[in-house]
Structure 1
Amino acid sequence: MTKKSPAKTATKPAAAKPAAPAAEAAATEKLGKTQLIDLVATQTSLTKKEAGAAVDAALEAIVEALRGGKSVGLPGVGTFSVKATAARQGVRPGTSEKIQIPAGKKVSYKVASTLKADL
């Protein structure tokens, strides 16, 4: 029979953390699709709905080109391309069992030299 630990009777109040505005925290970590659409709408004369359609169309064109095996170059940003991966032997985590990983494809990205220099 195992002993149970005694239940806690008193709890400490949670320490108050200074709350950062959600928009500020999101701006420093990641630019999501919604924020990208907002930026396109503010920098052009498009409505948010039109900007959303434009961003969706651009992303779909990039994905379709990659599915077709083409590389996509975005001036000042970089180049996306599809690369083949060879079949290889791997190890399953936890069991250390040797497994065969089949050949496949992956999307590769090479940053533009102008962007790299600006960072």
Structure 2
Amino acid sequence: MSTIAANQDLFVDLNQTDSETVSGGGFLSIFGLGKREKFTVSNQTHLRIPYSVDGKQTSYPYAGVDVTWTTRKGGKIAFDYDFGRPGVQRRKYNLSNGRKYAFRLDTRTAYKYDIELFRIG
């Protein structure tokens, strides 16, 4: 089977564009098939911290638990950083591939139950 292109330059240009899209994200990201990222989130507090990564809620929000995530949707984490106030005070971060993160109490604030996510590796 052979393929004939009426305009070879256009054919080459389209092939280059398609290969860039497949390798660089673009088209694949639309369908949640972007670059694979893997990272670990550790809960180093005494609190149960519900959080989500790319919209998926963790099954393990418990103190002392490490969770390794693998995602193709960007690695965006969201969590409530202040349990003392009514409602959700949402904080969001984009996590980096191959890194380790830990929830810890945020001693930089006056309220003793504020939490923050720190990069630890």
TM-score interval for Structure 1 and Structure 2 normalised by the shorter chain: under 0.3
- Structure number with the higher helix fraction is 1
Q: Tell me which structure has the larger Cα radius of gyration.
A: 1
Instruction: Using structure 1 for the length normalisation, give the TM-score.
Output: 0.27
Instruction: Using structure 2 for the length normalisation, give the TM-score.
Output: 0.26
* Higher RCO (CA 8 Å, separation ≥ 6 residues): 2
